[in-house]
Amino acid sequence: MSNTTAEYEAVIKICKGLFIKKTRDYGTAWRILRLESITDQIFIKAQRIRTLEEKQVSKVGDDITGEYIGIVNYCVIAMMQLDCGPETPAELDPAEVEMIFDGKVTETKELMFAKNHDYGEAWRDMRISSLTDLILMKLLRVKQIEDNKGQTLASEGVKANYQDMLNYAVFALIKLGVQ
């Protein structure tokens, strides 16, 4: 597990570094996004990864690593937005955003370790393309929950799905050797 801890934290450090730089560049412009729009942004990134996995050619030159990093960061944004109420200002201080980012990632990492305990780190034997497919499946679930106005009968809510997608993206980045 200690190897997983180090690998996970190394990937998150890269994702967070980019997130904080963009926060300093753009502020928290993402606060304007509705949850459904964030879900669609993640969908676009996951669909692009799948297309690149299948076609093996990129016409715009970006590789899948950047798209997985984007998925991680958009999942954090989604979880932040879930907690923001109408009283939350549109512009948040970068230091506050960094603390919230850390909290969301810590909670998600703890979930990952609980699941890894039960599943025995099965993700290490999975193909990256399967991780992409799991992210896409989770996105379709989230879209359905959103279409149902958040109502579920027997399913976990959107937050758990965003956490799973974040963890799948981190696993993919680990498997891609990002550190």
Residue-level pLDDT at 55: 85
Fill in the DSSP letter of residue 98.
H
The tokens of 96 are what?
A: 């506050």
pLDDT at 96 (0 to 100) = 94
In angstroms, the CA 120 to CA 4 distance is 12
Q: The whole model's pTM is what?
A: 0.93
User: pLDDT tens string for the chain (179 positions)?
Assistant: 559 999 999 999 999 999 999 999 999 999 999 999 999 999 999 999 999 999 877 666 678 999 999 999 999 999 999 998 778 888 999 999 999 999 999 999 999 988 887 888 899 999 999 999 999 999 999 999 999 887 777 788 899 999 999 999 999 999 999 97
pLDDT value for 77? 97
Are the C-beta atoms of 176 and 128 separated by less than 8 Å? yes
What integer pLDDT is reported at residue 49 of this predicted model?
A: 96
State how far the Cα of 62 lies from the Cα of 65, in Å rounded to an integer.
8
Distance from C-alpha of 139 to C-alpha of 145, rounded to nearest angstrom? 10
- Strands of the chain (E only): list them: none
